[in-house]
A and B are shown apart, each in its own frame.
Chain A
């Protein structure tokens, strides 16, 4: 019992530190708000003015679920870079030498990254109300939960990459090769129903496709795959990513 309490307090300690730093580093907060706004208003409204409505929704509204997923994807994956800074500044040693299991340290870090991402989600859900996205409370809650699952998976992937690399430069390089393909081949910016075969094949292999599909289903009622398949695959992906994360932290 005491042991379990120790681990929970360890998770809480790591999370609390991340949360405090998130609030104190204003740059992080500001950049995470500005980039999705650019996509929704700059890209969505701009392209939307020349593109026909898709399934009865304006292009801006059609890509809204994809943009929220993108915001979560970018923030969550990039969060992994902080583990490299922690290690460079030797702060990580204090945590690694504590009598707390690596699984708990990892869990605390994941919660920290998820907190960052979900703050952004809340902001984006509010924006959604102003651009005529059909958001009711149950829809918002379901979307939030789905995005939470995606965030857990992506923060874990980011941390796996961060835990296995030594330099922030290397991390940026690797993460770009993970992030952009995942984003472009997820159907975030286009419907996946009438793609050429090669593109459909790639999108079907991309775990994020199912996240985007689930979100679009929840918010706009447009599903390409059954929603339970989306959710199940995303859950499986999150579990695998978390397992890889715990292993990486044990080796650190």
Chain B
């Protein structure tokens, strides 16, 4: 286990941001924390990175206790923050050089490491320009380069692709996967992009209101829990009788539409339609992590966001 938490909790006054979390992450794994803004993902990562003290519970990173040996934890990790933290008035190369000094990279390796990571993120040509001339995607890439330059055992990525265009996002996914393999690095990332979690992660924990709702590989989550999704529209649906059908795993009603989770929909569709009688509309598709999220939380990840992030929730209390 590279990361382990036991009853990890963070409270802000009455609000519990992270609620008695128990978690184990294996070496070399890409582990995703999936949830809406304000679910407690960033708070969790901040505690694991030793920049936030837990209210109660314990956590170990690379075998070191985050409270008792924060220095050792910091030596083992790299972080890419949600908000870019590269310095605008320094060049890309200067940012990296500063990081080398701060993270104690041996003197003889420094130049080589900088060149290495610059080429990984394709920033060689712009390395000597001030960061305030970079685009958002380039800043992210520089930040990523910085996070891996001291060869951390564990890399934390807090929303690594937030606000990036789809193309850049896929580039960054490739980098992360390549790196994890090449450096045998463990990666813990938070995201509220379903595709990101599906494509990248070996295992995903869905986290909501500071608690882990479910934890498994994206594939297993999709297969076991959702299977296929049948979207139905009907004048007066009989939800209870639908629930009784043995191949229907779950029924959710939303905006006058029914979402049925069905294992192997193509086989059961005929029977299902015979059962429901006249319908206005039907659509069949294979399940996604988004459906898994709806299944466990009863809402879509986007709605959860519309409810507001952490601060909004806090203000309401």
A20 touches B84 (CB 8 A): no
Q: Determine whether the beta carbon of A96 is less than 8 Å from that of B102.
A: no
Least distance between B132 CB and chain A CB atoms (Å): 10
A182 CA to B74 CA, complexed, in Å = 41
Inter-chain contacts of B84 with A (CB < 8 A): 90
Is the C-beta of A89 less than 8 angstroms from some C-beta in chain B? yes
Chain A residues whose CB sits within 8 angstroms of the CB of B90 once the complex forms: 17, 20-21
List B59-97 residues whose CB lies under 8 Å from chain A. Answer: 71, 74-75, 79, 81, 83-90, 94
Interchain CA distance A17-B101 in the complex, whole Å: 11
Q: Which residues of B contact A200 (CB under 8 A)?
A: none
Chain A residues with CB under 8 Å of B86's CB are 91, 94
Bound Cα distance from A186 to B81, whole angstroms: 45
Interface: B98 (CB within 8 A):
yes
Kindly state the separation between the CA atoms of A21 and B88 in the bound complex, as whole angstroms: 10
**Pick from A10, A12, A21, A97: contact of B50, CB under 8 Å:** A97
Q: Which positions 78-136 of chain A face chain B at CB distance < 8 Å? A: 89-100
In the bound complex, how far is the Cα of B88 from the Cα of A136, in angstroms?
42
**Chain A interface residue count, Cβ-Cβ cutoff 8 angstroms:** 23
Distance A24 CA – B50 CA, assembled complex (angstroms): 33
Question: A100's closest neighbor in chain B, by CB?
Answer: B102
Whether the pair A95, B102 counts as a contact (CB closer than 8 A) is yes
Q: Is B144 an interface residue (CB 8 A)?
A: no
Contact A9 B104 (CB under 8 A): yes
B101 in contact with A12 (CB, 8 Å):
yes
A90 near B81 (CB under 8 angstroms)? yes
**Is B103 engaged at the interface, CB distance under 8 Å to the other chain?**
yes
A52 interfacial contact with B, CB 8 Å:
no
Judged by a CB distance under 8 angstroms, whether A247 is at the interface is no
Output the nearest chain B residue to A13 by Cβ-Cβ distance. Answer: B101
Which residues from B are CB-within-8-Å of A91?
85-87
Q: In the complex where A25-B89, A96-B51 touch, is A16 in contact with B98 (Cβ < 8 A)?
A: yes
Q: Is the CB of B104 within 8 A of A6?
A: yes
Interface pair A13/B81, CB less than 8 Å apart:
no
Closest chain B residue to A104, Cβ basis: B102
Whether B94 contacts A20 by the Cβ 8 Å rule is yes
Q: Which residues of A contact B74 (CB under 8 A)?
A: 97-99
Residues in A with CB closer than 8 Å to B50 are: 97
**Residue B44 is within 8 A (CB to CB) of chain A in the complex:** no
The residue in chain A whose Cβ has the minimal distance to the Cβ of B94 is A20
Bits for B87-125, please: 1 = Cβ < 8 Å to A, else 0: 111100010001101111000000000000000000000
The reply to whether the CB of B30 lies closer than 8 angstroms to some CB of chain A is: no
Q: Which residues of A contact B103 (CB under 8 A)?
A: 98-99
A92 surroundings in chain B (CB, below 8 A): 85
A-B contact pairs, 22 of them (CB 8 A): A12-B101, A17-B94, A20-B94, A21-B87, A24-B89, A25-B89, A90-B83, A90-B84, A91-B87, A93-B51, A93-B85, A94-B81, A94-B85, A94-B99, A97-B50, A97-B51, A97-B79, A98-B74, A98-B102, A98-B103, A99-B74, A99-B104
Please give 8 more A-B residue pairs, beta carbons under 8 A apart, in addition to A13-B101, A21-B90, A93-B85.
Answer: A6-B104, A13-B98, A17-B98, A20-B90, A89-B85, A90-B83, A93-B51, A99-B71
Chain B residues in the interface with A (C-beta under 8 A): 49-51, 71, 74-75, 79, 81, 83-90, 94, 98-99, 101-104, 146
Instruction: List 3 A-B pairs, minimum CB-CB distance, nearest first.
Output: A13-B101, A98-B102, A99-B74
